[in-house]
Chains A and B, each alone.
Chain A
Amino acid sequence: MAESVIQIEHLSKVFKGDLGRSPSVGVDDLNLEIGPGEVFAFLGPNGAGKTTTIKLLTRLLVPTRGRISILGRPSTSWKSMESVGYMPEQPNLYGYLTGEEFLSFIARLFGLGPGVRKARIAELLDRVGLKDRGKQLIRSYSRGMVQRLAMAQALINDPSVLILDEPMSALDPIGRKEFRDLIFDLKKQQKTVFFSSHILSDAEMISDRVGILKGGRLIRTGKPDELMGEDVHSVEVTFMLGPDAPNLADMGIPDALVQDSRVLVRLDRPDDLSALIHKIESHRGRLVSVVPAKKSLEDLFLAEIGR
């Protein structure tokens, strides 16, 4: 891996309990490196520590132990956020500003000059589909529109790293599709994207690498293909029954989907495959396809979390 863009070493966060309540662990000894141009999906159930990690990355929380550096700058320095775009989970933005004013405010914080600012705002409003809404007050926006504007503000400084917390949670299916396209665009531009999600199908589709977090600990990382392809756990066999085929039960195939003479069988043990093929041939059936079924991310996720 080339020099990492985000580097997390032994990161821990313990929240002090208020008034006699016992302290709770947000993140426990997290180690993670994310390389340039990588799209990393951070997965885990509620309370696993995804948002805590992201807030530690974005300097909203102070780590109890460990170190974070982004683009080589330690997160203790406020300058570490200069090339970072961040979109919080279910963002709330200043309702008393218009979309344009808000983006202008954020752009000023990044020190962008008036010319660049104007061009960037127009471009981003168009890109997130709020072109005609820029002059409306944010308090009149719908949830989805606020989310889009939050995405625009995360991109205002043309960041090389994007940190997105549940970016798709408030979007409708069309919005999600647009968002996926946006991520692909960013990937083409060699941006590094770190996002958390609980919508696994989206993560599976757009991420280069996923990490699964549980109880504040990172329990698995890897490319989705690798994680899912590690073992073929079942095989789907499709075949046509021969004209004189007996009852399927008599053939020793109890669970099968039958449509006319077409049969779909799912074998939980791949070793049974040769025996099945033999049976089909002996009854003059015709084999149509054999598909090894890999685990879906969801299966993997459930298996890991349930462990």
Chain B
Amino acid sequence: MRLCIVALNTFKESIRNRVMINILLFALALILLSLVVGDWSMGHQVKVIKDFGLSAMSLFGLLIALFIGIRLMVQELEQRTIYVIASKPVRRWEILIGKYAGLSLTLLINIVFMTAALWAVGFVMEKTIDFGLIPAIVLMYVEILLMVAFALLFSLLSSPTLSAVFTITMFAVGHMSGFLRDYVVLYPDKGFHWLFKAIYWVAPNLENLNLKTSVVEHLQLQPHAFGYGLLYGLGYIFIVLFIAVAVFDRRDLK
């Protein structure tokens, strides 16, 4: 209940925050741009539009994770608005998870809005609505939530700039970790195996949450790809938020 109150307040904050609208406009512009670029693709305009649209949504999510995810608690701490909230009969984790949930709600609404825009463009081109994009968009949303969770955790442990660096690194490693494992398989005689393997198992494997290519090509999804991807993503989010709560719970609000 109190968690919802904090979440709704955070939602209200991001609605009244212009950064959100700017990023949204940017993403919409990118979808429009895809119309132009799609035209040069030798008859695969709709594919290119969907690729562009989905990538725009995912990159926009990363931007949100960076700008708003890091600011989420830092702003409260720096501007000392947290004093008024944390001194109320509220548990610390209710504040942290509430704020996280509020941002998640904002992101959900943005994703829905952008999906509608993408469908509208697709409908104009193809006269059908491609519901097959939904699994990819759901997992993309989970990936964005995971990046926000990381940004939140890092922002509790270090400065905003370092948090941004760490979050981007986590995003990069997360998308490359599969490659690291493949590298190990391909070149079993080269060194650093244990390191690559460790990174592969510890860092989030964000490719598990990336179905963008598959849905655009209308491939039959790999069995379990969606279900286990979802399970993986949600499990990882829980772990990261759990650590963030543990950090925040013991933290002095100086």
* Interface residues, chain A, with chain B CB atoms under 8 Å away: 15, 55, 58-62, 78-82, 84, 86, 88, 90-94, 96-97, 101, 105-106, 108-111, 150, 153
14 residue pairs of the A-B complex, CB under 8 angstroms, read A58-B87, A60-B86, A60-B87, A60-B253, A61-B252, A61-B253, A62-B252, A78-B91, A79-B89, A81-B88, A88-B87, A92-B80, A96-B13, A150-B84
Nearest chain B residue, comparing its CB with the CB of A78: B91
Residues in B whose Cβ lies below 8 Å from that of A111: 1-2
User: Is B12 interfacial (CB-CB < 8 Å)?
Assistant: yes
User: A97 and B89 in contact (CB under 8 A), knowing A60-B252, A150-B84?
Assistant: no
CB of B88 within 8 A of CB of A88, answer no
Contact with A along B1-28 (1 / 0, CB 8 A): 1100110010011001100000000000
Contact at B87–A81, with CB atoms within 8 Å?
yes
Q: Which of B12, B16, B89, B250 has the most CB of A within 10 A?
A: B89
Tell me if B81 counts as interface (CB < 8 A to partner A). Answer: yes
| Complex Cα gap A254–B17 (Å) | 71
Indicate if the CB atoms of A109 and B253 lie closer than 8 Å.
no
Task: Sort A-B residue pairs by CB-CB distance and give the 3 closest, nearest first.
Answer: A58-B87, A88-B83, A60-B253
Evaluate contact between B89 and A110: CB separation under 8 angstroms.
yes
Within 8 A of A (CB), among B81-102: 81, 83-92
- Is B254 close to A, CB under 8 A? yes
CB under 8 Å from chain A, chain B span 61-86: 79-81, 83-86
For the complex, give the distance between the alpha carbons of A105 and B11 in Å: 13
Residues on A with beta carbons closer than 8 Å to the beta carbon of B91: 78
Q: How far is the CA of A277 from the CA of B126 in the complex (A)?
A: 112
Chain B interface (Cβ within 8 Å of chain A)?
1-2, 5-6, 9, 12-13, 16-17, 79-81, 83-92, 250, 252-254
Q: Is the interface of B mostly helix, strand, loop or mixed?
A: loop
Please pick, from B84, B89, B253, the residue contacting A55 in the complex, using a CB distance under 8 A.
Answer: B253
| Chain A residues whose CB sits within 8 angstroms of the CB of B92 once the complex forms | 78
User: Chain B: which residue is nearest A86 at the CB level?
Assistant: B87
A84-B87, A94-B81, A97-B9 are known contacts; what are 14 more A-B pairs with Cβ within 8 Å?
A58-B83, A58-B87, A61-B252, A78-B91, A81-B88, A81-B90, A88-B83, A91-B80, A96-B12, A96-B17, A97-B12, A109-B5, A109-B6, A110-B88
**Contact: A94 with B252, CB < 8 Å?**
no
Query: Bound complex: CA of A109 vs CA of B254, how far in Å?
Result: 22
Q: Would you call B81 and A93 a contact (CB within 8 A)?
A: yes
Nearest CB on B from A82, distance (A): 5
Chain A residues within 8 Å of B254, by CB? 15, 55, 61
Distance, CA A94 to CA B82, complexed state (A) = 10
A78 B89 Cβ-Cβ under 8 A: yes
**Min C-beta distance of A258 to chain B, whole Å:** 55
Minimal Cβ-Cβ distance residue in B for A109:
B88
Q: How far is the CA of A78 from the CA of B88 in the complex (A)?
A: 8
Measured CA separation A84–B88 after assembly (Å): 8
Complex interface: chain A residues within 8 A of B253 (CB): 55, 60-61
